Structure 1
Amino acid sequence: MALNPPLLALAVGAFGIGVTEFTPMGMLPLIAADLNVSIPAAGLVVSAYALGVVIGAPLVTLATARLPRRRLLVGLMAIFTLGNLMAALADSYAMLVAGRLVTALNHGAFFGVGAVVAAGLVPPERRAAAVAAMFSGLAIATIGGVPLAAWTGAMLGWRAAFWGIAAIGAVAMLALRLALPELKAEAGADLWSELRVLGRGPVLAALALTMVGFSAMFTVFTYIAPILRTETGATAPFVTAMLVLFGLGLTVGNWLGGRLADRSVDGTIIGALAAQLVVLVLFAWGMHGAAAAALLIVLWGVASFASVAPLQMRVMAQAADAPSLASAMNIGAFNLGNAVGAAVGGATIDAGLGYPAVSLAGAALALAGLVLVLWLGRPAAVPAACG
């Protein structure tokens, strides 16, 4: 797809959200020491963000259903910028948690509305690729933005990282205001029509597929550092290198999934889940060698994010006449998959089954997602375009 300024502006916003979501995980010891709280208490900064996403996705989307889309997206990035400024200025644990809650309120609505806007900016046969272009900002954040923010936190203090993220928010606001055309809200968009569409069986089934399918990735990714250190014998630099490789795989997978989903949404989901199933089964063996682990981690990243755009498109297609709330709730389903996957992986470890079993548990969830999408319908049942 040729360079598209509106899609680039949406990707800048997605990049900022990706950086602010994942950066605190690498700064918890710094935050805990500075604010004189325990590591588990500092971890609630991450939980506060997740809670804000779950709360914000439906409430913000419904409250702004009739706002022009450009004004809404700029406003959402203003909330993002405000929350990160609160974190940068935080002189107490309570203020930091409050800042993270505010920051997260934009997350689900931005990605949900942004996906609908992105799909509407291009011809029907290129809509999945357009959605993937927006999500590319999130994938790229895992390669460069998050490591850079973590380095900034280590060198200049954790507040400096949040100042930098707030600056990204300001740039995104300007980019969205200048690049996006004036876009009215969807015809007939209101609270009741959005809720009515969200309650449809096919929409709920599509949301369930996102949650189950994406939980496979986080079953393993949540514990990738101890897996590599224990099973591969990896050093800290090797773990960092593997995370960068995984981020590169995510970026390639996001691009590939967008291209393939414009041909077949369900076909792409089936292929991505099947690939992830195979890779995670192989990783249970391959994690014991550095070369095999590196190769499989790249392929795992590709398979994991190849499903993002088609999963988003599937929900939007099922909720075509009022897609904003369903699209935002699908972002919540991705985050719920994160929580479910982490819980499954943790339970596997607590049961004493070993780290290879964690990879097999992830494979089992990929299989569950594969069975679900096959049960829900034929590959041709969901059109590539929505709206």
Structure 2
Amino acid sequence: MTDTRTLELPQLGEILDRSPAPPERSALPHDLHHEPEPTTLAIPVVGGGEAVVLDEAPSATRTTASLTLTPRRAALALTALAAGAFVTGANEASVVALSPAIAAGLGVPVAQVGLLATAFALTVVLAAIPLTAVTGRLSRRLTLGTTLAVWTTGVVVAATAGSFAQLATGRVISAAAHALFWAIVAPTAASLFAPHLRGRSVTRIMLGAAAAGVVGTPVLTVAGDRLGWQAPYWGLAVLGAVLAVAFALLLPGPAPRDDDEDPADRPAPVRGDLPSRPDFLRVLAVTLTASVAMTTTWTYVVPFVTEVSGIPSATVPVMLALGGTVAVGATLAVGPFLARHAVPTVAVGLALLSGAWTMLALGQGWSGLMAQVLQAAGWAVLLSALLNWAMRHTPWPTDMGASIYTVTMNSGAALGPVVGSVLAARWGLWLLPLASLVLTLGAAAITATADRTMLRRLSVPGQLRRALAARQAVRDRRLEWQRRTAVRAHRPVAAAFAAGQAAARATERGTVRAASAVSDRAGRALRGHVADLDAHLG
């Protein structure tokens, strides 16, 4: 096994932007204390992605729910939350899977159906932060139960739609509930278990979202082709109603409030380990451009592969399932590279997406299948890397940085279908992958502007960086203490001050002696005059 100290410690001066400290004994174990990094997880779904950022709690902190719930109930609640992630992810991707069937059933162009994805993403952008703030003081049981009930209502409205306007209304209602669900599901899952199980619990939630791409989207496609486009929405509505009841029964109620809690005892908000507003804005620019590139084509991928590439409609569910499987595998495989190589991983994801759009633009059956594999892998890699890159540079607390990142991603998801709709309506579907290719290359060009010094600093994991910074701080404090307690002869300023004081005291003593001599002479003279006066009078 490679000794990482030989790789990292020589770069300490460059990493910390200071001269190396003089050699001394190694810092004590407590010198290497560091704050835990937030958990970042991103799972791609068809045409989009779900991302969570969760600050790690101190190891000694336990929530009331983790102390009061039985392990069985906590496990059942986690399963229900994962199922909620599955149904919400499947509903989000339903427009992509069902766009030809919806267009045929409602008698509208496919390009118009794609605008439903814009309405969904725009609602998520506008609703996520306000709804999270409004429901912040409510119990998770009430909030999530009500959220799934509202979500189910929106899905029922979509399932009973006889017009495009009613379908759009149902999508907007379910999108608002979707935004609130994904804003609080990760903290809720983490609160059910001890701190060392937080990451594992959040991973289970994201596996539910991953299953939406592997299983949910293909099933929706098959059901829409054979039973009509309303049937998948009825199935999702039934699952949503069951989950709303499950949340009400399994999730913990409101925790008792501690009015005597000292605000000073609350942990400080976690920020990026390399906070930089210009670099964070660069990440947002790449995120927005890549998201627009993705949704411009992928919102209309089903009609594209059937009409342009000539792939049979019966093969589309298999193609989508293949893409979901590849995406999950790529997400798991890319994890070990994010801590040291976030920006190169972004470049790899953009390169894979560029290859996908090139393959899709060829308009052949084999190239369409190849594009699906490249797109799934590239989008999964890009989502994970962008989220990690953004959280390392956020100049604000991670919850605010994650909100800004999510809003940016969904803004691109709202703009892309509009761009694709305009291009498809005016020139045809064949132009979409070329437009996505140009936008993806633009995102790659923005990525290439990253500062090289910052790239070298990013190559060191945040935990190691904080440990090295803590060690250097201890060394600086030790050197400062040695300077203050050094021998006076070795401190020129102090020595000069002491010499000045000695000279002042010597001068003072000389002045006193001179004054005393003058006084003595005056006394002797006075005594002489007195003696002369006595002699004269006598």
Is the pair's TM-score, using the shorter chain for normalization, greater than 0.5? yes
CA distance in 1 between partners of 2:203 and 2:439 (Å): 24
Corresponding residue number in structure 2 for 1:308: 383
CA distance in 1 between partners of 2:285 and 2:189 (Å): 23
The aligned amino acid for 2:341 is G
1:16 matched to 2:105? The reply is: no
The aligned amino acid for 1:338 is A
Task: Report the CA distance between 1:364 and its aligned residue.
Answer: 0.7
Within the candidate set 324, 328, 352, 1:247 is matched to 324
Question: Residues 37-85 of structure 1, C-alpha deviation per residue, up to 9 Å, x if partnerless?
Answer: 6666655544432332222112212212222344323332222112112
Corresponding residue number in structure 1 for 2:411: 336
1:379 matched to 2:458? The reply is: yes
CA distance in 1 between partners of 2:448 and 2:90 (Å): 33
Question: Residues 251-288 of structure 1, C-alpha deviation per residue, up to 9 Å, x if partnerless?
Answer: 2233334x437x61x734641x2222332344465454
1:53 matched to 2:124? The reply is: yes
Structure 2, unmatched stretches of 5+, are 1-73, 264-268, 464-538
CA distance in 2 between partners of 1:227 and 1:151 (Å): 17
CA distance in 2 between partners of 1:100 and 1:292 (Å): 33
Within a 5 Å distance, the mapping from 1:29-68 to structure 2 comes to 30-31=101-102, 43-68=114-139
Task: Report the CA distance between 1:315 and its aligned residue.
Answer: 5.6
Please tell me whether the aligned partners of residues 88 and 159 of structure 1 are also in contact (alpha carbons under 8 angstroms).
Answer: yes
Task: Report the CA distance between 1:371 and its aligned residue.
Answer: 3.3
SS at match of 1:306: helix
Mean Cα deviation higher: 235-244 or 313-322: 313-322
Please tell me whether the aligned partners of residues 109 and 328 of structure 1 are also in contact (alpha carbons under 8 angstroms).
Answer: no
Please tell me whether the aligned partners of residues 214 and 321 of structure 2 are also in contact (alpha carbons under 8 angstroms).
Answer: yes
Judging by fraction of residues, say which structure has more helix: 1
Within a 5 Å distance, the mapping from 1:160-309 to structure 2 comes to 160-177=231-248, 180=251, 201=277, 207-225=284-302, 228=305, 232-257=309-334, 259-260=335-336, 264=339, 267-268=341-342, 270-271=344-345, 273-283=346-356, 286-287=359-360, 288=362, 291=366, 294-295=369-370, 297-309=372-384
Corresponding residue number in structure 2 for 1:82: 153
Percent identity, please. Answer: 29
The aligned amino acid for 2:351 is V
Please tell me whether the aligned partners of residues 120 and 414 of structure 2 are also in contact (alpha carbons under 8 angstroms).
Answer: no
Task: Report the CA distance between 1:205 and its aligned residue.
Answer: 5.9
CA distance in 1 between partners of 2:297 and 2:350 (Å): 12
Within a 5 Å distance, the mapping from 1:352-371 to structure 2 comes to 357-358=434-435, 360-368=437-445, 370-371=447-448
Structure 1 residues 83 and 283, CA, compared in 2 at 3 Å: closer, same or farther?
closer
Please tell me whether the aligned partners of residues 61 and 328 of structure 1 are also in contact (alpha carbons under 8 angstroms).
Answer: no
Task: Report the CA distance between 1:367 and its aligned residue.
Answer: 0.9
The aligned amino acid for 1:357 is L
Question: Residues 191-248 of structure 1, C-alpha deviation per residue, up to 9 Å, x if partnerless?
Answer: xxx9xx9xx9477665545334444433443454466457755343444433332222
CA distance in 1 between partners of 2:203 and 2:449 (Å): 23
CA distance in 2 between partners of 1:60 and 1:339 (Å): 19
CA distance in 1 between partners of 2:190 and 2:384 (Å): 11
SS at match of 2:93: helix
CA distance in 2 between partners of 1:179 and 1:269 (Å): 41
Structure 1 residues 269 and 246, CA, compared in 2 at 3 Å: closer, same or farther?
farther
The aligned amino acid for 2:322 is L
CA distance in 1 between partners of 2:193 and 2:314 (Å): 42
CA distance in 1 between partners of 2:383 and 2:391 (Å): 13
Corresponding residue number in structure 2 for 1:158: 229
Within the candidate set 111, 130, 135, 2:182 is matched to 111
SS at match of 2:159: helix
The alignment's TM-score, normalised by the length of structure 1, stands at 0.73
Structure 1, unmatched stretches of 5+, are 189-193
The alignment's TM-score, normalised by the length of structure 2, stands at 0.55
Please tell me whether the aligned partners of residues 290 and 440 of structure 2 are also in contact (alpha carbons under 8 angstroms).
Answer: no
SS at match of 2:448: helix
SS at match of 1:297: helix
Please tell me whether the aligned partners of residues 32 and 38 of structure 1 are also in contact (alpha carbons under 8 angstroms).
Answer: yes
Please tell me whether the aligned partners of residues 155 and 171 of structure 2 are also in contact (alpha carbons under 8 angstroms).
Answer: yes
Task: Report the CA distance between 1:164 and its aligned residue.
Answer: 1.0
CA distance in 2 between partners of 1:119 and 1:204 (Å): 29
SS at match of 1:65: coil
Equivalenced residue count is 369
Task: Report the CA distance between 1:342 and its aligned residue.
Answer: 4.7
Please tell me whether the aligned partners of residues 116 and 171 of structure 2 are also in contact (alpha carbons under 8 angstroms).
Answer: yes
Greater Cα radius of gyration, structure 1 or 2: 2
CA distance in 2 between partners of 1:307 and 1:125 (Å): 28
The aligned amino acid for 2:458 is P
Task: Report the CA distance between 1:165 and its aligned residue.
Answer: 0.9
Mean Cα deviation higher: 18-27 or 80-89: 18-27
Mean Cα deviation higher: 165-174 or 101-110: 165-174
SS at match of 1:106: helix
Corresponding residue number in structure 1 for 2:497: none
